[in-house]
Amino acid sequence: MQPQPSRRRISPRRLAALASVTVLTLAVSTSAGNGRLSPGTSTAGAGPSTLSRTSVHAPCMISPEGEVQMSEGIPTAPGYTRSTGTVRALTLMIDFSDAPGEGDALDRYREFFPETSEWFATSSYGRLDYRPELPVPDWLRMPKSFRAYGIERGAPFDPGYRELVRDIVAEADPEVDFQSYDLLNVLVTPNAGPAALDTVLSVTFAGNKEAPSADGVPVSNASFVYSRQDDGSGSYDRTGYRVLPHENGHVFGLPDLYTAEGGGAVGHWDIMSEDWGANNDLLAWHKWKLGWLDASQVGCAADPGTREYALTPLARAGGPKLVFIPLDDHSGYAVELRTRAGNDEAVCRPGVLVYRVDANVDTGMGPVTVYDSRRDSGGCTRSPNVHAELSDATFVPGESFVDRRAGVRVAVTAAEAEEYRVRVTRTSPG
Ligand SMILES: [Zn+2]
């Protein structure tokens, strides 16, 4: 509820959005087959191999029509890191002659771990066993100055990042077998480049087959974290690590949900929208996409008529989590129950969240839109420096979401401690 710092915080994000778009153009145009850092370990790439579905789910598996760099479609395109099972994250801390690492490199590592692994374990109900590995537990000094790489906001892979990745590989190679890892985290010394409040440099190159090779495998999926996202609200110690799960979300194939206007489309309901301030889990749509929900936990409301569905809190393991109402081949409405638990510790109005997902809309352009049950309310969160308006967007018993044009109604009919019921009515098939 502090508009000033919030604006300050959103504006660097806007710049980061541009960075992602630039970067992903390269990523997708070059991705093919298994884009993991290491094809050495055997399970195949992200979406298709891990997605749980039945023939009943076919109408709900929306997909993009034509060229979309990074889509909400299901299953996820190949080339990204597998998002279930044990994932080994090679984590390196780097510094430069003009930005020497201050103090112990392990302190930089501890800004993100064990929190990042725990966040993924909680969000995935234990299906993603994320293991950071530190074969070089010290600052890895780059041969050039930070300035010489020309890294700035929106910098494309060529030439600066290509050079940086090549140098990271060269410096680390004596001690690192790159074939043993599924993704790369580069934790840059915080004194390199501008403060995060001025410019967010943190970026991920995902599914990038053009990346330099190391030990015979391309460094295809790499997240770079710069600076510290400390907004001065006092929450950094608890929330600053979440830039890494956000960046890694791209490595697993998830698009950015914030847009050039900031986090107004999804607020804090997904870490791919806003990763600071109030803690936020992932949308159920993302959990299905990542292989963290079974087909039995996903209802597909494709047929005309009225059906009732049960929903259990998304943050708790087990039970039905998602109802999807397809509108056409590339879009639909998702319905889920959000309560204060797990990674959703900051939910201030438990209830049913309704949002539209469009596989044709690219990363950073608003592929997901949350519907606000209380427009212009100002929201219910009291956390500082957050996009507050959507924090009370949920629907509670007695309330309904209605799209008359599409002939879709979602009514929340009952709420018990651990289960809500929704009645979905549609007048035409999806
Ligand atoms: Zn992002």
Residues 352-372 have pLDDT tens digits of: 999 999 999 999 999 999 999
What is the per-residue pLDDT for 25? 34
Summarize pLDDT for 61-114 with one digit per residue, the tens: 999 999 999 999 999 999 999 999 999 999 999 999 999 999 999 999 999 999
Residue 410 Cα, ligand 1 centroid: separation in angstroms? 31
Summarize pLDDT for 180-208 with one digit per residue, the tens: 999 999 999 999 988 777 777 899 999 88
Average pLDDT, the chain: 87
**Sheet strands (E) in 226-277:** none
Q: Is the pLDDT of residue 316 over 70?
A: yes
**Sheet strands (E) in 302-430:** 305-311, 322-326, 331-338, 351-358, 368-370, 400-403, 408-416, 419-426
What backbone torsions phi and psi does residue 425 show, to the nearest 5 degrees?
-120, 130
Round to whole Å and give the CA distance between 226 and 239.
Answer: 15
Residue 403 Cα, ligand 1 centroid: separation in angstroms? 30
What is the per-residue pLDDT for 179? 95
H or E element that contains 164:
helix 162-172
Residue 18 Cα, ligand 1 centroid: separation in angstroms? 10
Residue 378 Cα, ligand 1 centroid: separation in angstroms? 25
DSSP state of 267: T
What is the per-residue pLDDT for 280? 85
Task: Give residues whose Cβ lies within 5 Å of ion ligand 1.
Answer: 20, 256
Residue 282 Cα, ligand 1 centroid: separation in angstroms? 13
Residue 326 Cα, ligand 1 centroid: separation in angstroms? 26
Residue 243 Cα, ligand 1 centroid: separation in angstroms? 9
Residue 247 Cα, ligand 1 centroid: separation in angstroms? 6
Residue 80 Cα, ligand 1 centroid: separation in angstroms? 15
Residue 344 Cα, ligand 1 centroid: separation in angstroms? 20
Buried b (16+ CB within 10 A) or exposed e, 131-164: ebeeebeebbebeeebeebebebbbebeeebbbb
What is the per-residue pLDDT for 418? 87
Confidence band (pLDDT; 50, 70, 90) for 59? very high
Residue 223 Cα, ligand 1 centroid: separation in angstroms? 10
Summarize pLDDT for 121-154 with one digit per residue, the tens: 999 999 999 999 999 999 999 999 999 999 988 8
The two beta strands, 203-205 and 419-426, are unpaired
Q: What domains does the chain contain, in order, with CATH numbers?
A: 39-251 (3.40.390), 284-426 (no CATH)
From 225, 105, 250, 92, select the one nearest 167 (Cα to Cα): 92
**Other Cβ atoms within 10 Å of 278 Cβ, number:** 23
Residue 203 Cα, ligand 1 centroid: separation in angstroms? 7
Residue 62 Cα, ligand 1 centroid: separation in angstroms? 22
Residue 327 Cα, ligand 1 centroid: separation in angstroms? 27
- Which residue type occupies 326? P
Residue 412 Cα, ligand 1 centroid: separation in angstroms? 33
What backbone torsions phi and psi does residue 128 show, to the nearest 5 degrees?
-110, 115
What is the per-residue pLDDT for 164? 97
Provide mean pLDDT across the span 415-425. 94
Residue 197 Cα, ligand 1 centroid: separation in angstroms? 16
